[in-house]
Each structure stands twice: as structure tokens, then as C-alpha cells.
Amino acid sequence: MPKPPLILGPFVALWLASPGFAAPQIPAPPEYSVLDQPDLLSPTLERALETALVEHERLTSEHLVVAILSERGASDAESLTKRIAAEWQVGRGNPTRGILLAYYSREKDSRVEIGVGFDSVLTPDRARKILSETLRPEARMGDPGRGIALAALEILRSIESPLLPNGRAEELLRAGGLRGELAARIPPPSNRSWATWIVFGIIISISVTALLTSAEAHYTRSGWIHPKPWENWRARILKKIRRRRSVDHDVALGGTYGSW
Amino acid sequence: MGPGEVRGKLAKKEPRISPIVQAIAWAEARSTAEVRVHISRRWFDKDPFGHASEIFSRFGMARTMSRNAVLFYFNQRLRRFAIVADTGADAALGKAYWAGLGASLREDLLSTHFENAIAIAVRTLGISLSDHFPKEKD
């Protein structure tokens, strides 16, 4: 078997070592439950979020961590988030008692890694819903920091954190600078939805025009009639409703066809 | 010119009877068959024969005693036509007849006025149907 040419060796090595191919380095774990690599959170909001997560841990021994990374590179969000949760020992050595909320800024991707101890209160579907209804709308509107803080609040709500009933979590986040209602804002409709409506309107207009201009005339010995387009549909629907086999379709008809 | 008659532009004009209606009346007067003509201006008509068959059943044309109804279908926009014959008429006249009728219809449509071409085809069919399904036998 012929050996591959040695001249390709350096190029292959360079390709393998390129940043796009290599998995990103996992940073050191944060001191206080929130790591904000790209500085999406304001300092006050970061401190407020840290305080809320640390207070929750002190009250319940449940370890919640928020990891905001600049990028995830070529790795997929799920595997990288699992690796981060394992390296940072989210759960303080007991993975069943830990939750990691990860956000990858460049790819605008997010993932929640949930310890099995939370299965009954925070299911993967619920976590996906939190991300899609809270974090992603805010990120689309240009404020991912707010989205991350609101997602963390929703996670605390889902796991029935004692910080929620007394309003402590909301108080902390408001002190950190969150304004308005602590729920995701409804993003404005994207330009694509306008284009969709325009295309839909064009299709409807063409269909209606075609229908109105598809005039028909039916001649008999007595004269001619002008059947309406919807009469055919009405006949078909009535036939289906009555579920009566028409004698007209029992046998094949003869004849011919052509064009001129 | 008698009293009360009006000449010129004020004279009431007789309503024009379409040559197609006249041809159908002429054909049906000579046989027990039912003949109809359906003209459409649909924009999409992939299968004119299938569509004509639907119209055939929609207007209940299979309910003749001898199953000898015939429908002429024309799509004037796409210049397509179909002739649909019920089983009795098809068995009596044969497939070769329909092919010949279709060919002569096509030539007439290309050479003469649309309505006149249809009327000629209907009258031709009427003659053939009167041989197989004469009126007086009923």
C-alpha cells in the first residue's frame, strides 16, 4: 500500500491545530457561581446574580452556576456544557445537586445541564422552554445579559427556590439593574414575517384572480348556464359527507381528447 | 311593412341563439342521447379528459336510459378539448369513431370560428347517434 506523501504532513498538522478545529479551553471555575467571559452582564447585575445563586446554595445545598463563554468553537453545546459541568464539579462533587446554565456568546447558543436530582422539578423540556421563551428572545433583541439573568430566575422558580416566595431573588436582580417586568419582552416581528405575509398575499391574489377569470359555460338544448366555481367544491364535499358511491364512477368512460 | 312595425335601429332584435345550443337541440331531436357542451377558461388544466369526466358526473349525465350521453369539453384558454362518452355510446360507436371525430374537430377549430366548429362536431355526432339510438324507438 503506497504511503501518503510526506509533504502533506505539515498541512494536516496545521489544520488539526487550527482554532476552528480544536475544542476551546475550559476556563477556570468562577469563585461565586457566575463566570462572564465576554462581559455581557453589568458589574452590578453580575454581583446580584452571584448573590442570588450563593444564597440559594446556602439555603438548599443546591449548586447553581452560570457560565457565559465567548464561544464554543467547533464543539457542540451539549458536550461542551457537560464537560464544563464535570470539570467545575457543579454540584460540589455531587452532580445530582448541580445545575449549569451555559451561554456561548459568539454562536448565541445556550444549554442547561441539569443534575438528576432535579428531574421532577426541572425537566429537559422545561429547561428548553426557559431558554426559548426567556433567554433567546432577549438575546435576539440585543440584551443577552438580561436574558441570562431572567433564565436563571426562571430556573430558581422551577426548582422552587426559597428566594422566590419572599421576593428575595427579584429584589436582588432589580438591585442589580433589571428594570421593568421580570419576564422576557416580546421581540418585534422580524423582517422575514413581513416577507412571508407579502408572499402569502400574492399567492392569495393570484388564486382569487385565477378563480374569478376561470369562467365556465355549460350548454344544453335549452340554453346555457354559468356554473359558479364553488359549485364543484360543494358537490365534492356533499358527496363525501353522504358517502354515497356515485354510479357515474362505476365504469370507465369512453371518448378522446386533444388540443388545437 | 305592416302597421305597428318598426324599422331600422328601433326595431327589436331577435335574441341570438348560440349555434351550439341549436346544434345540441338538433342532435337531441334525432336520438335519445343527451349531448352537452362545456366551455372553460381555466388557467390550469393538466388533465382535460379527467376534468371533463368530473363535469360529466357532476351534471348527472350518466343517468340516461341507454347510457348514451356525450359531453364536449373545451378549455378555450389552453386550447384543449375532450369528448367524454358514456358506456352505451362508446360501445355503439367505437374508439375509432372518437379518434376520427376528435381529428375533424381539431381541424375545424383551427380553420373556423370556435362556436361553429363545436356546432359542426355536435351535428356530426348527432347523425351518428341517431343511427344507433333513434328517437322513435323509445
Q: Percentage of chain A surpassing pLDDT 70?
A: 78
At B138, is the secondary structure helix, strand, or coil? coil
Map residue B63 onto helix, strand or coil.
Answer: coil
- Alpha carbons B104 and B101: distance in angstroms, whole number: 5
State which residue of chain A sits closest to B53, comparing Cα positions.
A253
Q: Which long-range contacts (CB under 8 A, 24 or more apart) does A204-212 make?
A: A210/B42, A210/B43, A210/B44
Using CA atoms, how far apart are residues A102 and A52, in angstroms rounded to an integer?
Answer: 17
For the residues B73-96, what does the mean pLDDT come to?
A: 92
Q: Which range (A21-35, A46-60, A82-96, B122-136) has the least confidence?
A: A21-35
Which of A112-116, A251-255, B59-63 has maximum average pLDDT? A112-116
**What is the b/e burial string over A153-179, where b = at least 16 CB atoms within 10 angstroms of the residue's CB?**
bbbbbbbebebbeeebbbebbeebbbe
Nearest CA in chain A to B18: A223
- Joined grid coordinates for residue A150: 431572567
Instruction: Copy the grid coordinates of residue A36.
Output: 462572564
Mean pLDDT of chain B: 87
B38/A221 touch (CB, cutoff 8 Å), yes or no: no
Gap between the Cα atoms of A134 and A128, Å rounded: 10
Return the minimum-mean-pLDDT range out of A180-184, B70-74, B102-106. Answer: A180-184
Count CB atoms within 10 A of the CB of residue A32. Answer: 13
Q: What's the pLDDT score for residue B63?
A: 86
pLDDT reported for residue B58: 85
Cα A85 from Cα A115, distance rounded (Å): 10
> What's residue B138's pLDDT?
45
What SS3 state is found at A101? Answer: strand
Q: Which residue of A has its CA nearest to B28?
A: A221
Residues of B in contact with A248 (CB under 8 A): 56-57, 60-62
Order of strands, sheet of A98-104, starting from the edge strand that comes earlier in the sequence: A34-36, A63-69, A98-104, A109-114
* pLDDT for A124 beyond 80: yes
The pLDDT of A34-47, averaged and rounded, is 94
pLDDT (tens digit, 9 = 90+) per residue, A8-40?
555 555 555 554 445 668 899 999 999 999 999
- The answer on pLDDT for A59 being more than 50 is yes
**Minimum Cα–Cα distance from B82: chain A residue:** A257
Angle between helix B19-30 and helix B114-132 axes, rounded to 10 deg: 0
Q: If we measure between CA atoms, which residue out of B82, B77, B76, B72 comes closest to residue B47?
A: B82
Restricting to B residues 14-53, those with a Cβ less than 8 Å away from any Cβ of A are 18, 20-21, 24-25, 28, 35-44, 48-49, 52-53
Instruction: Report the DSSP beta bridge partners of residue B72.
Output: B37, B83
Average pLDDT estimate for A115-140: 90
What would the DSSP string read from start to end of A175-193? HTT--S-SSPPPPPPPHHH
Cβ–Cβ of A232/B54 closer than 8 Å? yes
Contact A254 B89 (CB under 8 A): yes
Instruction: Determine contact, residues A49/A82, Cβ cutoff 8 Å.
Output: no
Q: Where are the beta strands (DSSP E) in chain A?
A: 34-36, 63-69, 98-104, 109-114, 216-219, 224-225, 254-259
Residues of chain B contacting A257 with CB distance shorter than 8 Å = 48-49, 52, 80-83, 102
Could you give the dihedral angle defined by the CA atoms of residues B25, B29, B31 and B33, in that order, rounded to the nearest 10 degrees? Answer: 30
CA distance B3 to chain A (A): 33
Shortest CA distance from A220: residue in chain B: B36
- Whether the CB-CB separation of A214 and B43 falls below 8 Å is answered with yes
Residues of chain A found within 8 Å of residue B28, distances taken between Cβ atoms: 221
pLDDT at B122: 95
Rounded to a whole number of angstroms, the distance from the CA of A246 to the nearest CA of chain B is 8
At residue A247, the pLDDT reads 46
Chain B: nearest CA to A204, how far in angstroms?
15
Grid cell, residue A247, equals: 354510479
What is the bridge-based pairing of β-strands B70-75 and A224-225?
Answer: unpaired
Report the residue of B26, B32, B34, B38 to disrupt the A interface, i.e. the one with the largest count of A CBs within 10 Å: B38
Q: Indicate the residue of A214, A248, A255 with minimum beta-carbon distance to B85.
A: A255
pLDDT band at A196 (very low <50, low <70, confident <90, very high): confident
DSSP 8-class letter at A135:
I
Minimum Cα–Cα distance from A219: chain B residue:
B37
Number of H helices, E strands in chain B: 5, 3
Can you give the pLDDT at residue A120? 87
With a cut of 70, say whether residue A78 has pLDDT above it. Answer: yes
pLDDT computed for residue A194 by the predictor: 81
* C-alpha separations of A109 from A5, A22, A53, A67, B89 in Å: 40, 18, 22, 12, 71
Q: Which among A214, A219, A223 is the nearest to B41, CB-wise?
A: A214
Count Cβ atoms below 10 Å from residue B112 Cβ, excluding itself. Answer: 13
Greater confidence (A27 vs A95) lies with A27
State yes or no: pLDDT of B131 exceeds 50: yes
Cβ contacts (< 8 Å) between B95 and chain A: which residues? Answer: 254
Contact A219 B37 (CB under 8 A): yes
